[in-house]
Structure 1
């Protein structure tokens, strides 16, 4: 799911009054209708679109239930990357070979990248979700956790309805409002929806060609750099300065090579490219070089463990070997991670949400505390660090 954020949420009801998130759901929907008409949407179409909209408590439950992202990289990636998904990726690559060639020619996005998203999002189109899309979007816009993300999607869904491309009563998808085989939000469909099969319409649910072309267009729109790598497994020399690692530290590939970093297979990317050394489970675990294209993944999904797994799986689908898991130190449970984040916040660090998920802000705070305490600063939180804090 693309997670780019817009300005903080306020909904103009009429011309001046602000309708906040939360409160009475029906009143919130009435305010949405008023604002939609003020934005230029047809009044009768607006009424029809919102007529069937209902609050969906299952959507809120799904939004709160994301403990899977508390898993470490090795556990998470082994759960998501199966031999079946690898085999089906090869089948789909061959079946839609001409489409993938066209995507790479027009947008510069390699087939492995799209195949990985296609696999993880919907198992190559087989599991697209059965949540009512309009209900999901309005429910999440009404909820006060991330209204700034979902409110614009409501108006985008209304525009899709006016175009005849969405039915508020029957269109279904993921709990967060994404639609189709690569799970795109309505705004992204409006911007990057493409007719890949030439039938004159954009059908992201029923046409793999449409879904793949649209996904390629979206990644290009997000800044994908053609002809450049995104993630590469590396071997890091013993004794490397660990303070240089992490996504908030960049050097050129040539500079990394000078420090002894090498590709586990083949050659590193162009020496002039900037890159970061990513140690998702610390100095004893897997090691990757993250190139500028890796940043684009965070516009699709903001979970570090998902992004790293998706980027790595794309390399597997392009022929890379299984990563070397190494021998990382044991990490923390979800409850321990929450405790750690609370201690980091108490020390003045910004870790984002205290949610038990090891994101890049938490990793940066962990590394800072490791430096302060004289521990190996590899940004991997352990029971020893928790105890010392």
Structure 2
């Protein structure tokens, strides 16, 4: 913390206004002064308000890292470890265990990745600077109310730059509305209590309109022509409309829902890729974070946790995406060729993409786009290491262009929080 005389005057003035607003919302003056009054703003969160991805993400890349065998195996282990809690949660909220665990896996990798930013610092900064200050002020006040209630201690409120925290990444205002005490200790703690997090997630889906015993949807097969001219989550038609066009389940199973059930057709990669009929429970998942690709990741992971074998229709690409273990392997191969990309952590960032571009140039691969796919992985597996590191070191220079071409279809970045969980 900086002393008040070293803080930007406009920030100090904003803090005064926040204090009055927080007190009027029931936050004790002592709580505000202790945790916010003299906070040093974190200016690094401001660019994230308008951050654009460095390159567009194909849907097959997005899903390959979120629904990989590693996450499936971990999820099945969590189903076993927390079977008693999940059974109780399913009975109370009507949401099946694989769906709840799939949210947990996508949101925080089963508690491994909470985020690293102190929420009160981020939210205070965003309450005083940048766009959407009113939204973040509401989240800051909710966070202070959580601390004041004793549910979660201030130092444990660590998460994303925008304020999501805990095992299943609730925003503070969503926590206030929906979080529940799943372990019976009198507190709602989504950070230290897995039962609280699992029960709260099930409660979120229930409030969002989850229908117990119904599927989120199915992968389907389209007829050769005719169907698929209308698609998108909001283009709902009676199920009978779709089946009458010749749409059937890709696995050959029966669609047992009533013919009047509202359903929508998703074609995330066009008619040549996997197609899905989705129902009300898909919308409930979508409300957790408003992006169809995100909801599809959770839906497909939940199917794998039920014992499903994955998609029947391949993605329409000659260069499929990489699982997280394959991404780590790719980075190990890049490191062995002298590229200073840091740790082989499976996170394909700027340095890894620059190194991939240089290897694509060296190996004569097209396009030279810095994308981590099966093509570059196979080439590096099969090829001998470069005799010397590339002339342009990605650690010190960026002479290789980073303007990467879009590959359709692309996945937009998750939307900014509006309401609900994020």
Question: Same fold by TM-score, threshold 0.5 exceeded?
Answer: yes
2:243 corresponds, among 257, 264, 281, to 257
Contact 2:57 2:411 in 1 (8 A): no
Any unmatched runs of 5+ in structure 1?
1-21, 341-354, 361-389
* TM superposition score normalised by structure 1: 0.75
Residue 103 in 1 paired to residue 89 in 2? yes
Question: How far is 1:325 from its partner?
Answer: 4.1
Residue 175 in 1 paired to residue 230 in 2? no
State how far apart, in whole Å, the 1-side matches of 2:262 and 2:411 are.
30
State how far apart, in whole Å, the 2-side matches of 1:182 and 1:128 are.
9
1:268 corresponds, among 250, 255, 260, to 255
Contact 2:119 2:160 in 1 (8 A): yes
The 3-state SS of whatever aligns with 1:259 is: coil
Question: How far is 1:228 from its partner?
Answer: 1.8
Decide whether aligned partners of structure 1 residues 358 and 209 sit closer, same or farther in structure 2, where only a CA change above 3 A counts. closer
More helix by share: 1
Residue 304 in 1 paired to residue 292 in 2? yes
Contact 1:53 1:168 in 2 (8 A): no
Aligned CA RMSD, in angstroms, stands at: 3.1
Contact 1:232 1:315 in 2 (8 A): no
Decide whether aligned partners of structure 1 residues 272 and 328 sit closer, same or farther in structure 2, where only a CA change above 3 A counts. same
Look up the match of 1:323: 311
Any unmatched runs of 5+ in structure 2?
1-7, 320-366, 370-402, 416-422
Look up the match of 2:147: 161
Q: How does 1:126-141 map to 2 (within 5 A)?
A: 126-141=112-127
2:265 corresponds, among 274, 277, 282, to 277
Contact 2:221 2:249 in 1 (8 A): yes
State how far apart, in whole Å, the 1-side matches of 2:17 and 2:132 are.
18
1:46 corresponds, among 32, 45, 50, to 32
State how far apart, in whole Å, the 2-side matches of 1:138 and 1:109 are.
35
Q: How does 1:53-72 map to 2 (within 5 A)?
A: 53-65=39-51, 67=53, 70-72=56-58
Contact 2:219 2:249 in 1 (8 A): yes
Residue 291 in 1 paired to residue 346 in 2? no
Question: How far is 1:47 from its partner?
Answer: 2.0
Question: How far is 1:74 from its partner?
Answer: 1.2
Contact 1:178 1:185 in 2 (8 A): yes
Determine which structure has more spread, i.e. the larger CA radius of gyration: 2
State how far apart, in whole Å, the 2-side matches of 1:169 and 1:203 are.
13
Q: Report the number of matched residues.
A: 325
Question: How far is 1:81 from its partner?
Answer: 1.8
Contact 1:335 1:356 in 2 (8 A): no
